[in-house]
Structure 1
Amino acid sequence: MAPTLLTAALGALLAAALLGPAFDGRSVAVVVAAALLPTLDAAASLAIPGATNALLHNLWLPLALAGLLHWDTALRDRSALRERHGWRGVRIGWVTLAGFAVAGVAPDLFGDPGVNLLYPVENAYYVVDGLLLFSTQDGVVQTFVSTAGDGPGLLPLESTGTADARPIGTWVNPDGRPGLALGVEREFVVVDAGWQAVVVASAVASLAVRFRPWERVRSSTAASGDAGEASR
């Protein structure tokens, strides 16, 4: 499972990039919370076999949420979300879904041991693995799409085993199996690669830059109000 700090940082970057005029502290917190939501299946694995990277990492949940959002905001005559929260609610809703799927699920899909995409229909972890490069001798080399055989096919989605044969350990549940193991070593990974530290630093810098203009507006508004009160 990807480090929790990395997941939160990716959610913060999406919030800074996509919220637009809806950006504020509360909306950022909502998006980051949605990005962290899939990590809760590690705690669920204490009671549910094979829940890690499966229970909240599967394909069905984001598809269902996307379908519900699209139906409510685009197909219905009167959108319940728009009527209650206005355009901000719609914007935050879609960015929150992106935080869940892109920041919460995708990092585990693109790295070992993968994600149980079809859970509970199928009990198998999948990982996306591919290569794209330019060689001075071979030209463009990529392994994402293959034209071999009868037609094009997607190759990077590879199975890495099943939950029964390969339980995923986390700091909450080190052995990945049901039951609370006492007396075992637990390691909470902050970052486990240099590029992850870069992502975290980028998220902190992005939020700092996005919040500063709002603080200046608030300060100038407050100053104008104080000046108006003084002139009276």
Structure 2
Amino acid sequence: MPSTLVHVALAGVLAAALLRESAFTRRAVAVVLLATILPDLDSFVSPFLAGAHRSLGHNALIPLALFAVLVYDTRVREESWLAGRFGATAPHVAGVALVGFAVAGVGLDYVANGVNLFWPLHDQFYTLNGRAGLSNQRGFFQTFVDLTPDRVRTTENLHYSTGIDPSPGKEPENVERVFPLVWAGWQLLLVVTSMGVLTARFVREE
């Protein structure tokens, strides 16, 4: 599964691409990266609440609620609280941070291993995974939409191993705790690319 480092790397690319010139500062980039880390904090709750990791912070309800609050603050209120409190670029930075939270934080896990997308309203893990292509014999084909019945994965029967909570229940004293950094070549490529893109953007803005 993607490590927090890989999530941050994708967020770095998003920050470099989406933050406009007036808002592109080290502080703004840090806000976007921090927002992307927030979903993974549910791993610290997992030892106390079974199934919390990939559920408590990894769902669609949180970014939707935050999006509604952001729209209210910037479109409904006569004066934005964010702009008044943190400056004129704050709503824009908050929007990019929300994209980082939803896409790099939750979305990357959604396509990699699965998240409890509608928790706590509906307890079931979903994964966006499949293939799509063109064949000279079959034409267009895809496996992203698959209605074949499968074992329903819930917080009761699924546990995502982390360095904080390696296995369900009480851990033995000598349990190995692994905190992944990069687990595949594409992840290393993404981390290096993100560092390069952000560095180039900072140099250009200076």
Say whether the fold is shared (TM-score over 0.5): yes
* CA distances 1:181-215 after superposition (whole Å, capped 9, x unpaired): 53201112111111111111110110110111233
3-state SS in 1 of match to 2:89 = helix
- Kindly state the Cα deviation for residue 159 of structure 1 after the two structures are TM-superposed: 6.7
TM-score by length of 2: 0.91
3-state SS in 2 of match to 1:121 = coil
Gaps of 5+ in 1: 146-153, 216-232
| 1:193 aligned onto 2:194 | no
Please, what is the CA RMSD of the aligned residues?
2.0
Match of residue 154 from structure 2? 162
For 2:51 and 2:196, locate their aligned partners in 1 and report how far apart those are by CA, in whole Å.
37
Closer, same or farther: CA 180–91 of 1 in aligned 2, 3 Å: farther
Say which structure, 1 or 2, has more relative contact order (CA 8 Å, 6+ apart): 2
* CA distances 1:98-134 after superposition (whole Å, capped 9, x unpaired): 011100001111122x101121122221111232112
TM-score by length of 1: 0.81
- The code of the aligned residue for 1:207 comes to L
- The code of the aligned residue for 1:94 comes to G
| 1:203 aligned onto 2:191 | no
3-state SS in 1 of match to 2:134 = strand
3-state SS in 1 of match to 2:141 = strand
Residues 2 and 187 in structure 2, CA contact (< 8 A), matched pair in contact too: no
3-state SS in 1 of match to 2:88 = helix
Residues 143 and 155 in structure 1, CA contact (< 8 A), matched pair in contact too: no
Q: Identical aligned pairs, as a percentage?
A: 41
Aligned ranges 1:16-165 → 2 under 5 Å: 16-21=16-21, 22-112=23-113, 114-144=114-144, 161-165=153-157
What number of residue pairs does the alignment pair up? 204
Gaps of 5+ in 2: none
Residues 12 and 198 in structure 2, CA contact (< 8 A), matched pair in contact too: yes
* CA distances 1:158-179 after superposition (whole Å, capped 9, x unpaired): 87511211211111110144x5
User: Which of structures 1 and 2 has the bigger CA Rg?
Assistant: 1
